[in-house]
Amino acid sequence: MSETGGALNVQELIRKKRDGEQLDAHDIRAFIRGVTSATIQEGQIGESSHRKRRAGIQLYLFLGAMLMAIWQKGMVAEETTALTKEMMMSGNIFHWPQEWARLVVDKHSTGGVGDKVSLPLAPALAACGCKASRVVHYKCPVPMISGHGLAHTGGTLDKLESIPGFNIQQSVDQIRQILKDVGCCIVGQTENLVPADRILYALRDATATVDSVPLITGSIIAKKGAEGLCALVLDVKYGRAALYKDFNSARNLAQSLITMGNSLGMKTGAVLTRMDTPIGRCIGNTLEVFEALECLKGRATDDLKELVTSLGGYLLWMSGRSPTLQTGQEEISRVLTNGEALHKFQAMLEAQGVSKDTARALCSENIDYFNLIPRAEYQTEFEALDNGTVLDIDGLLIATVLHQLGAGRTKAGESINYRVGAELLVDLGQQISKGQSWIRIHHDCPKLSPQQHSDLQGTLVIGSGESYQAKARVTEFMPPPSL
């Protein structure tokens, strides 16, 4: 690895960060160039040349050591800024038509259980118009560049890929055309969009540095900056089933993301949300698609609707398309109720490869979804062991069992079973009787193990109704500095 022809002292760079010294822009540029070199050499490790394999392995060891040093010592704001900018500039930057200036928006979630929010949110935003002049109304272009799931958290792309024909791989020109024709798309990261992030993402998982605030900040904001966004809202989750378990840690991450996003010219705000119990009633890729469709048909659970309207309303307000947060939320609620968002979703399905017949059937008012996408071979229901009030449902435990049954992946690139999932048959705060079914597990293995039975039964907490207190998902809005 070299910088402007001169050799970089790898050990010195690692030593500086390990000993708590601040890396300058030159150091960080050299580090990111090493990362992009790794994306090139990644394919060479399996080649016959011993020298190439050795060089590739040495490079990965260097990158892993740097990530560990960053995780241990952190980064000051100047380092994080340099890291984010270098990552963003490691590939192509999206450029949109001039008439879309100050219109392109997106949302990012830090991940949770049952988080299907992007599926109804993208078309709802696309359906919301804004008055650019007294006579012309422009829609909100929403290029959602999403990811696959890892560990217990589900990925938006996995959910959509469970729909027959849906193609997440679109070129920049195709993305631009879909946005022009439909107003929204949900796609995977293109080959040349922030290539440095792809290798760092995999290495962060391998080196247990996933929870590093500067590395998370660089990863998220570099990708969103490369999208050429006007406004970005971040759903930063905390709780048992989230990356960060406590409110203060999540708020610290949110503040880092807000600061960095706004420094790059994106109007960036965040919403802090609880992630203890599953969002909605369905967990698992195919089942979550069905629940997202129900949301688009005006039949969302209260917590799913709260998240979609809150995040969407916040984006409309931040981007100047709504005078207040409340009116923005009302506008999102309106297009979810009147079918406009559903129409956009159907158009997006067709634009991204789903047949017209399948897209139309999925979006029709009365449909047995399992006639279009087959259910898992087996369904097992669990019954309540006592009478009382549903006080808690442990989302992390449910997701962990579903992961074991094939719904999730342990490392990037693994195949998953889209049909595996769970349906909650009760709500928090609901009265439940002994022997009443409270969850239905969809699985393709003939039987669940005794440990899985025990874990699933332990996710349900029943007690006295007097001790139950309903809690909203959204706990804080963190606006951009300019609002």
Structural Rg of the chain based on CA atoms: 23
Tokens 């097992």 map to which residue?
A: 380
Q: How far is residue 126's CA from residue 424's CA, in Å, rounded to a whole number?
A: 30
Query: Would residue 26 show up in a list of annotated catalytic residues for this protein?
Result: no
Straight-line distance from the first to the last Cα atom of the chain, in angstroms, rounded to the nearest whole number: 44
Catalytic residue of the set 159, 198, 223, 251: 223
Query: Would residue 223 show up in a list of annotated catalytic residues for this protein?
Result: yes
Q: How far is residue 309's CA from residue 25's CA, in Å, rounded to a whole number?
A: 40
Write the CB contacts of 382 (distance below 8 Å, at least 6 apart in sequence).
Answer: 437, 438, 439, 441, 453, 456, 457, 460
Tokens 């999206």 map to which residue?
A: 94
Is 355 in contact with 74 (CB distance < 8 Å)? Answer: no
Q: CA–CA distance from 20 to each of 13, 23, 34, 71, 369 (Å)?
A: 11, 9, 21, 11, 55
Query: Would residue 442 show up in a list of annotated catalytic residues for this protein?
Result: no
Query: What are residue 109's DSSP bridge partners?
Result: 235
The number of helices, as runs of H, and strands, as runs of E, in the chain is 17, 17
User: Could you write out the three-class secondary structure of 367-427?
Assistant: CCHHHCCCCCCEEEEEECCCCEEEEEECHHHHHHHHHHCCCCCCCCCCCCCCCCEEEECCC
**Concatenated DSSP letters of 433-472:** -TT-EEEEEEESSS---HHHHHHHHTTEEEE-GGG-----
Query: Would residue 108 show up in a list of annotated catalytic residues for this protein?
Result: yes
Burial 432-461 (b: 16+ CB within 10 A, else e): beeeeebbbbbbeeeebeeebeebbeebbe
Burial 123-138 (b: 16+ CB within 10 A, else e): bbbbbbbbeeeeeeeb
Catalytic residue of the set 108, 116, 251, 281: 108
Catalytic residue of the set 139, 159, 198, 204: 204
Catalytic residue of the set 219, 319, 322, 333: 219
Catalytic residue of the set 27, 106, 158, 197: 197
Work out the angle at residue 308's Cα, subtended by the Cα atoms of residues 303 and 312, and round it to the nearest 5 degrees: 150
**Annotated active-site positions, please?**
108, 197, 204, 219, 223
